[in-house]
Amino acid sequence: MSDEKRGKFLQELRLEKKLTQKQLSEILHYSDNAVSNWEKGKTLPNNPETLMKLCGLYDVSIEELLYGEKKNKNNSKNISDNMENIYKKNYKKIKKALSLSAILFLIIIIISLLSIYFIFIKGKILSYTIQGDSEHFIIDKSTILFTENIDILNFNKIISKNGEEINYIKLYYKIDDKEYLIFQGPNDNYYIEEPKGYNEYNLDSLKNNEIFIEISYNESSQETINLTLSQRYINDDIFIHKKEEIYDDSISKNKRTTNNDFIEFLLNEGFTLKDGEYEKQSEKVRIVFDSQSNIIYLFNQSKSIYEKLELDISRNNIFYEFLDENNDNYISEIYPLDGKELKICKIEFITENIEYLLYLKSKF
């Protein structure tokens, strides 16, 4: 039914009750201008309580009020149908409004989360490998971690290529040719934690300045190596992506063939595929080959002692790690390979397993 007819019906009902628009507005606590708009068919009270008050005041049903006529035999069905149509129309409006509200709420949540990520999380964790190489020494497996709250430097013992006796080392960085010391002392493993704002070591400065290690060896010799930082990780991805293996077109076929041949060799050696790695286990030692990184691992199976040998097939050194859980004794060492042989080493776990480890390396 038209809004104009409904407005005229409201006017007739008011006049029957001998009320002015101002009197009706005072009864309903609305402005007389609002009452005028109802009777012109421009608007209608959207408050259910107001509609019910109008119905009670005019002695009509809500169906009659909304249709614009009092019910009789001729219009009974039309009034019912009109009420049903109004219900459906309002239901669609409510449903649309709820959907839009839900979408708006979701957008606000997403924007809030993205804002938190980009302001407080993205790029706030960085991990670097510290590397350096010279004719006499190797600096490898050392790392530095930068976070919002703390910086952590883990500097491993320097490896001598030719058996030089290292007496003293000094790690520092330079700004405008001025040296800033990080640490100095004997050739050993150094672990430094520096909370942000502490500024004793200024580890954060290592990101943007040249880093040097000064090595004193063989009593009177000295060498300075300019170190490099290679980024290992930065939390700049919103989603975790599985990285596909990338092959250089010029060597991909050879790499795959070699890898497949080596895997066939491992299977013949008693290795089995487990969780994407090839594994062989004895009573004392577990051997694992990671086909993605081409690294062979040996693990000590003792309960209280953690020992690991790590051999990167593409490099000529062995990484050794030891942890005694009973007394928190920790060792981390790198041993260079001279060709296919290991220089003298007194660690039992290495001497017991090095022959088989090198045997595997020779078959790659």
pLDDT in tens, 7-27: 898 999 999 999 999 999 999
Closest C-alpha among 52, 77, 47 to residue 65: 52
With a cut of 80, say whether residue 325 has pLDDT above it. Answer: no
Closest C-alpha among 65, 69, 43 to residue 55: 65
Q: Residue 215 is encoded by which pair of tokens?
A: 């090595």
- Give the Å distances, CA to CA, from 16 to 6, 10, 45: 15, 10, 20
With a cut of 70, say whether residue 106 has pLDDT above it. Answer: yes
Q: Is residue 256 very low, low, confident or very high in pLDDT (cuts 50, 70, 90)?
A: very low
Q: Residue 288 is encoded by which pair of tokens?
A: 């694992």
pLDDT in tens, 36-86: 999 888 888 878 888 899 999 999 998 888 888 888 888 888 877 877 777
Q: What is the 3-state secondary structure (H, E, C) of 236-296?
A: CCCCCCCCCCCCCCCCHHHHHHHHHHHHHHHHHCCCEEECCEEEEECCCEEEEEECCCCEE
Alpha-carbon distance of 38 to 19, in angstroms, equals 15
> Average pLDDT, stretch 114-128?
71
Q: H-type helices in 246-312, by residue range? A: 252-268
Using CA atoms of 63, 69, 75, 76 in order, give the dihedral in degrees to the nearest 10. Answer: 30
Domains defined along the chain, listed by start: 3-71 (1.10.260.40), 126-234 (2.60.40), 252-362 (no CATH)
